[in-house]
Structure 1
Amino acid sequence: MTLRKQLSEAIAAEQYEKAATLRDQLMHVEKGRSEPGRAHGETA
């Protein structure tokens, strides 16, 4: 199950602590994709 789907389900079930954790994971993944070079395992 994708992080977005898990996040939606956690919010729907009013599991806000879980939703916050999933949100943070999702932001981290998306930030990594948007930075040049990061997707290929390069470090800053």
Structure 2
Amino acid sequence: MTDAPLARLLLFALLLIAAISLVRAPRTVTPTFAVSLNTPHLSVSVSL
């Protein structure tokens, strides 16, 4: 079992979070948000 799909999914999630933060940053409307990713193999909680 390889970790390639999982790593790709995690990378996509990080890019999506970065894109959302860049979109929301100029508006300065509470740029704090939480993203939770729960999978059987991975549990990620990101707060920016």
Which TM-score applies when normalising by structure 1?
0.49
More strand by share: 2
Which TM-score applies when normalising by structure 2?
0.46
